[in-house]
Amino acid sequence: MMRLPRFRYLAPASLPEAVKVLGDLGPEAMPLAGGTDLVPNMKRRQQTPANLVGLRGLAALRAVSGDAGRGLTLGAMTRLAEVERGPVAAGWPALARAAATVATPPIRNTATLGGNLCLDTRCSYYDQGEEWRRSIGYCMKREGETCWVAPGSDRCWAVSSSDTAPVLCALGAEVTLLSRGGERRIPVAELFADDGIRHLSRRPDELLTAVHLPPVEAGQRAAYVKLRRRGSFDFPVLGVAARVRLSAGGTVEAARIFLGAVGSRPQEARAAADFLVGRRLGDEEVIREAARLAAQVAKPMQNTDLTLGWRKGVAREYAARALRELVG
Amino acid sequence: MADDREATPRPGPRALDDDRPAPRPGAASPAPGLAAVGKPLRKVDVRGKVTGETRFADDFTMPGALHMKLVRSTVPHARLLSVDPSAALAVKGVRCVLTGKDFPIAYGLMPVSQDEHPLCNDKVRFVGDPVAAVVAADELTAQEAAAQVRVEYEPLRTIATPQEALATADPRIHDYGDAPNVHKLVAFDFGDVPAALAGADQVFEDRFFYQGNTHLPIEQHAALAWVDPDGRVTIVSSTQVAHYVHKAVARALALPPARIRVIAPPQGGGFGGKTDPFNHEIVVAKAAMVTGRPVKIALTREEVFLCHRGRHPTLMRMRTGVKDGRIVGHSVETVLDGGAYGSYGVASVHYTGALETVTYRMDRYRFRGCRTFTNKPPCGPKRGHGTPQPRFGLEVHLDKICEKLGVDPAEWRIRNAVPPDTVVANWMRVRTTGLVACLEAVVKASGWRERRGRLGRGRGLGIAASSYMTGAGISITFGDLPHTGVQLLLDRGGGVTAFCGASDVGQGSDNVLALIVAEVLGVEVGDVKVVTGDTSLGPVDLGSYSSRVTIMMGNAAIQAAERARDRLAAAAAAKLEVPASRLCFAGGRVFDVEDPARGLTFAEAVQRAEAQAGTVGTVGSYSPPTPTPRYKGGGVGPSPTYSYSAAVVEVEADEATGELSVEKIWVAHDIGRALNPVAARGQVVGSVYMGLSEALMEEQEFRRLPPKLSRALVHQAPSMLEYKSLTFHEMPEVETILVEEPDAMGPFGAKEVGQGPLLPIPPALANAVHDALGIRVDEVPITPHKVLAALAAPDRRYGPAAFPDVPWPEPLLVPPPWEGGDGKATNERKRERRLPGAKP
């Protein structure tokens, strides 16, 4: 079987202790939340931190506070199984739905919301065992020099594969990052960078401690549609997250659309969102045009499941399906 | 003694009877009043499975066991210049490093394909070919040290596809074969097919492709070996074929067979993926001999993908001439991508043609088969071994023919079904056949006549039928010896122990053994203890493949149990002063049928028999009937009897995205008799699952990198996450109909059930997609992009555009039975000439 590499396990008893350890060790350490992404990656030697900082003892990271009227703060260690239910399902059903589509029920009982946001980017040349990667001379993301999906490229095209990230971006959520030096709160969209290797703006000494959902506005509607091979288990090859605010008369007053799994970070479909403002979603022509515009930001590469041409071709259809869900 | 045999209930046939006429289909079931056969009794081994107490190979360990890791080639094709273990040996905890030098003797499953070394000697032939083995105190140390073994390669040109293999004379992956980089070529003419096509009303031609896929057993391969103080080598391994492992270890390590013991514990699935002797099994034994310590290896999932031996990717071309609605001539050509080694490949290529004839009447038949070598993990037998590919082609081909002829494809199949007791064009003997009954059953259950073509755009029904062997008629390696044996030991407490070399891969063979013995002896199934999967504790059984265990082990068990019953009857007759002919064995008693109160308990009967003539132990064995084909190559395909299946698939197709959702499957299977109907249904549903998974998504696919930058040729997705197979989500409801027409060849009339029901599923899906959208996807798997491509194509088809040129040899000419002849080729000796350039 695959064995984990050797590492040191640290179990801080408090948040200050945790960020002190992360500050002391810097890139030599990684926080361990649910471990459903990191641990298999370690077995495959994709990530080999010398130190793991276990977060399971930190009750503060599990706290949930607020409500639909005030906004909701979810501790980063809130499990995806909890995000599927409770206050999130009541106020932000699109996020609950995104969480419910991650992997499988046993994994969602362990995996956390913070972990899903910090999910390592994925690529079919990278998500392989050590021997497999050795057989291709490794890749740019780890130990090699070439990006095999785009051999002329000087950047890594590994794919942001989180289901919750595009929804949180569309909802305008924020995250808190805590370090020894204090904490900062940034929009979720700013957590991500367009690079398969340095895909998070989180510094190694920072801990993502909380996710903040803004208050639910009158007329708010949101949807998440996920494309993947199978109805369970699989990562997305496309995720369409859309959030609109409708006037009493049904006209779109504000819109935000993000596509997941078609780039190294959630891709914002601004032109599509702008197009929707002032228009009515009940008009199928409007949906189709917005979907066409949204699909333009989908720039998939041949490094996930299913064929590239097909994924490009159906992006518009899936964007339209997400927008139709907003009609209600 | 003959008298009481006739008086006691005797549902089973005689075990070694060669060639009795089969009963007519629909004949009344023999032997009412069976106690265990046909009852939905709990399987004897199921409690351990559900409580987690069953010990699989990886659960075995020994005090002081060392751990082994294989160092595998990272290049697809190269000369092996050197293997330097010094850095690995310097790692603390490493006990030894083995290399190809320790294994000079080649081995292989088939006598004609002894082309593997436990560790590569001179060449590596695919990414994953093992070049060294590191043995260390723990698994992590072995894994870390394995990365320290330095291997020097001289790369050779990589051959990735059958087309490249056919076009490349040099380099050769192997120095044997029927042509450079061609492992095997076969060619048969059963009558003059070109003449038949010339005289046909219409001739149809199609090309098909069936992608390769792998077995995906949940249990990964593991093996533990140790050497007893007396020098006996024991290997515990997850294998379907303990005796083939035994044979391969003896050969490759030059050990006396009598000093080797192979134990095959229950397995968490095999499906043909544990049917070859594997390099790690031989190397772990050698490591135990070298270190004097128990040594264990547990393969990773990635390594299981590299062991492979799965479904051959197969290109096919079919040509059929039809006159007055019947097939006057049918031609099949296949090109198989064999991967890097022979494995079962010679059999596999024959199987792509051998069973083409046993479902529908065809006057003449022509078959050409070609298996190529490529630098990829070797292909071999997977559930249905070599037959799902041409079955897919034939059933889709027929669907198209029926469409052109304007006839209902279900009706055509029913009208043209091979009747029972027929020797077909290639001389395979069909005995009972439930083909028509299966077709009628799924037609009725699915509402075929009312619903097909009327479900609206995007929804459709498709039908297909098939046949599979109930055990192979010829043994691959053991010549004329029996294919199986069962030994019984009856104890004074009334317990019965049944010993057999068969191993249970989850299909339920242990249960079959216990229930048959219990049925014959009239005891509780739970009173029969089975000891299986151990080459030292039971008679040889060839293994769990070819759907052979129920029929072969079952008949041997009947023979052994009847012999035991005879001994008990003689002793009980003396004690009870009743003629043996009046004794009945039932309910744990032996009693007078005319005065049931007069009797002995089963235990008392055993005691009387033991007092009369010593320990009560009996044996039984089984050999299949002599095959009817007498031509060279005719040993692949004959079976004591064939099972039949039919399926209707209902699909919902999304025209915008090409995505398919299978809504329901109706499947009927001619099982002869279900020894345990619940277990049988489980096998049917499992086969349907596997067939549908292959039809919708499974692909053992490989990836090349830009040639200027890399020579790599690697498995695309060797993980259970990215190698896509169906989950519960995609699995539809399956309505299973068991068609029971007992066959005299089977124990209590039973035929196979483990493989056959897979076969109709892929073509039934393809035909359903046609009904839904009017398109033809002539390929498996039928993925969304192919559906969209077919919708966009002018001919509404997606499939292979061409069929490669193959240097077919002169065919063997075998007239079909109705054109005279005796099953022999008319030109056999003349054809012994080899192809130019081929080595013997």
If contacts are CB pairs under 8 Å, which of residues 190-219 in chain B contact chain A? none
Element at A74 (helix H, strand E): strand A71-75
**Where in A109-234 does DSSP place strands (E)?**
174-179, 182-187, 207-213, 220-227
At B32 the pLDDT is 55
Chain B residues with CB inside 8 Å of A1's CB? 58, 139, 220, 298-300
Element at A10 (helix H, strand E): strand A8-10
Q: DSSP labels for A23-39?
A: HHHGGGEEEESS-TTHH
Average pLDDT over residues B202-222: 98
A314 to B714: CB separation less than 8 angstroms, yes or no: no
Q: CB-based contacts of B766: which residues, under 8 Å, 6+ apart?
A: B392, B396, B399, B462, B695, B776, B777, B778, B780, B782
CA separation for the pair A324, A139 (Å, rounded): 40
Average pLDDT over residues B152-167: 97
B718 to A6: CB separation less than 8 angstroms, yes or no: no
B716 to A314: CB separation less than 8 angstroms, yes or no: no
Q: At residue A24, what are phi and psi to the nearest 5 degrees?
A: -70, -40
- Which tokens belong to B224? 């533990």
Nearest to B717 among A2, A124, A232 (CB): A124
Nearest to B705 among A148, A234, A305 (CB): A148
Give the ranges where B434-592 is alpha helix by DSSP (H): 435-446, 448-451, 509-521, 549-576
CA separation for the pair A227, B579 (Å, rounded): 75
**Is B717 near chain A, with CB under 8 Å?**
yes
Nearest to A136 among B140, B710, B783 (CB): B710
- CA distances in angstroms from B42 to B38, B46, B547, B678, listed in the order given: 12, 7, 22, 9
What does the pLDDT look like over B113-139, one tens digit per residue?
Answer: 999 999 999 999 999 999 999 999 999
Nearest to B706 among A6, A135, A151 (CB): A151
Average pLDDT over residues B361-385: 98
For B557, what's the count of Cα atoms within 13 Å in the CB-facing half-sphere? Answer: 34
- Which tokens belong to B383? 């559930």
Q: Buried (b) or exposed (e) across B64-89, using 16+ Cβ within 10 A?
A: ebbbbbbbbbbbbbbebeebebeebe
At B347 the pLDDT is 97
CA separation for the pair B156, B88 (Å, rounded): 27
What does the pLDDT look like over B387-426, one tens digit per residue?
Answer: 999 999 999 999 999 999 999 999 999 999 999 999 999 9
Task: Evaluate if residue B339 carries a pLDDT over 50.
Answer: yes
What does the pLDDT look like over B754-809, one tens digit per residue?
Answer: 999 999 999 999 999 999 999 999 999 999 999 999 999 999 999 999 999 999 99
- Which tokens belong to B318? 């079919």
| B252-259: long-range pairs with CB below 8 Å, 24+ | B252/B103, B252/B105, B252/B106, B252/B107, B252/B117, B252/B118, B252/B282, B253/B105, B253/B282, B253/B285, B253/B286, B253/B289, B254/B105, B259/B231, B259/B232, B259/B233
B709 to A151: CB separation less than 8 angstroms, yes or no: yes
Chain B residues with CB inside 8 Å of A137's CB? 710, 712
At B687 the pLDDT is 98
Average pLDDT over residues B280-307: 98
Q: Which residue of B has its CA nearest to A129?
A: B302
**CB-based contact A163:A268 (threshold 8 Å):** no
A135 to B656: CB separation less than 8 angstroms, yes or no: no
Nearest to B697 among A124, A136, A229 (CB): A229
Domains B57-156+218-269+274-307 and B185-213+310-474+630-798 share a fold: no
B730 to A231: CB separation less than 8 angstroms, yes or no: yes
**CB-based contact B660:B731 (threshold 8 Å):** no
Chain A residues with CB inside 8 Å of B653's CB? none
At B13 the pLDDT is 36
B709 to A146: CB separation less than 8 angstroms, yes or no: yes
**Is B655 near chain A, with CB under 8 Å?**
no
Q: What percentage of residues in chain B have a pLDDT greater than 70?
A: 95
Query: Is the sign of the CA dihedral B748, B751, B757, B760 positive or negative?
Result: negative
Nearest to B729 among A129, A230, A318 (CB): A230
CA separation for the pair B104, A215 (Å, rounded): 73
Nearest to A232 among B220, B658, B727 (CB): B727
If contacts are CB pairs under 8 Å, which of residues 760-789 in chain B contact chain A? 783-785, 788
Query: Is the sign of the CA dihedral A306, A309, A310, A315 positive or negative?
Result: positive
**Where in B273-415 does DSSP place strands (E)?**
295-298, 314-323, 326-337, 365-372
Structural domain A226-327, CATH architecture:
2-Layer Sandwich (3.30)
Nearest to A3 among B143, B722, B728 (CB): B143
Q: Which residue of B has its CA nearest to A45?
A: B144
A39 alpha-carbon distance from chain centroid: 18
Q: Based on C-alpha coordinates, what's the Rg of chain A?
A: 20
**CB-based contact B73:B124 (threshold 8 Å):** yes
B718 to A129: CB separation less than 8 angstroms, yes or no: yes
ipTM of the complex: 0.97
**Is B718 near chain A, with CB under 8 Å?**
yes
Structural domain B185-213+310-474+630-798, CATH architecture:
2-Layer Sandwich (3.30)
Nearest to A233 among B656, B697, B721 (CB): B721
Helices A308-327, A284-295: crossing angle, 10 deg rounding? 140
- Which tokens belong to A78? 């809130």
Chain A residues with CB inside 8 Å of B58's CB? 1
Average pLDDT over residues B477-503: 94
Task: Evaluate if residue B832 carries a pLDDT over 80.
Answer: no
How many beta-carbon pairs under 8 angstroms link A with B?
87
What would the 3-class secondary structure string for B75-128 be? CCCEEEEEEECHHHHCCCCEEEEEEHHHCCCCECCCCCCCCECCCCCCEECCCC
Reported confidence tier of residue B830, pLDDT bands at 50, 70, 90? low
Q: At residue A260, what are phi and psi to the nearest 5 degrees?
A: -100, 160
The residue count for chain B: 840
CA separation for the pair B351, B428 (Å, rounded): 12
A307 to B302: CB separation less than 8 angstroms, yes or no: no
At A328 the pLDDT is 67
B714 to A233: CB separation less than 8 angstroms, yes or no: no
CATH number of B57-156+218-269+274-307: 3.90.1170.50
What does the pLDDT look like over B520-553, one tens digit per residue?
Answer: 999 999 999 999 999 999 999 999 999 999 999 9
Average pLDDT over residues B236-263: 97
**Strand duo A51-54 + A29-32: pairing:** parallel
Chain A residues with CB inside 8 Å of B729's CB? 230-232
Q: Which amino acid is at B373?
A: F
**Where in B491-634 does DSSP place strands (E)?**
496-500, 528-532, 583-586, 589-592, 595-601, 616-622
The residue count for chain A: 328
Q: Which residue of A has its CA nearest to B719?
A: A128
At B480 the pLDDT is 87
Q: Which amino acid is at B620?
A: G
Which residues sit opposite B367 in a β-bridge?
Answer: B188, B332
B714 to A6: CB separation less than 8 angstroms, yes or no: no
What does the pLDDT look like over B14-39, one tens digit per residue?
Answer: 333 334 444 433 333 334 589 999 99
At B828 the pLDDT is 83
Task: Evaluate if residue B744 carries a pLDDT over 50.
Answer: yes
Chain A residues with CB inside 8 Å of B722's CB? 124, 127, 305
At B29 the pLDDT is 37
- CA distances in angstroms from A242 to A214, B511, B733, listed in the order given: 15, 56, 34
| Per-domain residue ranges of chain B | 2-33+482-499+508-525+551-622, 57-156+218-269+274-307, 185-213+310-474+630-798
* Shortest distance, CA A314 to any CA of chain B (angstroms): 6
What does the pLDDT look like over B650-696, one tens digit per residue?
Answer: 999 999 999 999 999 999 999 999 999 999 999 999 999 999 999 99
If contacts are CB pairs under 8 Å, which of residues 115-134 in chain B contact chain A? 127
**CB-based contact A224:A243 (threshold 8 Å):** no
B788 to A310: CB separation less than 8 angstroms, yes or no: yes
CA separation for the pair B378, B306 (Å, rounded): 8
- Evaluate the omega torsion of the peptide bond into residue A40 and state whether it is cis, within 30 degrees of 0: no
**Where in B589-715 does DSSP place strands (E)?**
589-592, 595-601, 616-622, 642-653, 660-670, 702-704, 713-715
Structural domain B2-33+482-499+508-525+551-622, CATH architecture:
2-Layer Sandwich (3.30)
What does the pLDDT look like over A197-246, one tens digit per residue?
Answer: 999 999 999 999 999 999 999 999 999 999 999 999 999 999 999 999 99
**Is B697 near chain A, with CB under 8 Å?**
yes
Chain A residues with CB inside 8 Å of B705's CB? 136, 148
Element at B813 (helix H, strand E): strand B812-813
pLDDT in tens, chain A (328 residues): 789 999 999 999 999 999 999 999 999 999 999 999 999 999 999 999 999 999 999 999 999 999 999 999 999 999 999 999 999 999 999 999 999 999 999 999 999 999 999 999 999 999 999 999 999 999 999 999 999 999 999 999 999 999 999 999 999 999 999 999 999 999 999 999 999 999 999 999 999 999 999 999 999 999 999 999 999 999 999 999 999 999 999 999 999 999 999 999 999 999 999 999 999 999 999 999 999 999 999 989 999 999 999 999 999 999 999 999 998 6
- CA distances in angstroms from B124 to A105, A128, A307, B703, listed in the order given: 42, 22, 31, 18
**CB-based contact A75:A62 (threshold 8 Å):** yes
Specify the 3-state DSSP secondary structure of B641.
coil
* Shortest distance, CA B384 to any CA of chain A (angstroms): 25
Query: Is the sign of the CA dihedral A231, A235, A239, A241 positive or negative?
Result: positive
A130 to B727: CB separation less than 8 angstroms, yes or no: no
What does the mean pLDDT of chain B come to? 94
| Per-domain residue ranges of chain A | 8-56, 226-327
* Shortest distance, CA A297 to any CA of chain B (angstroms): 19
CATH number of A8-56: 3.30.43.10
Chain B residues with CB inside 8 Å of A132's CB? 302, 714-715, 718
Average pLDDT over residues B44-73: 97
A132 to B302: CB separation less than 8 angstroms, yes or no: yes
* Shortest distance, CA A70 to any CA of chain B (angstroms): 38
CA separation for the pair B123, B524 (Å, rounded): 56
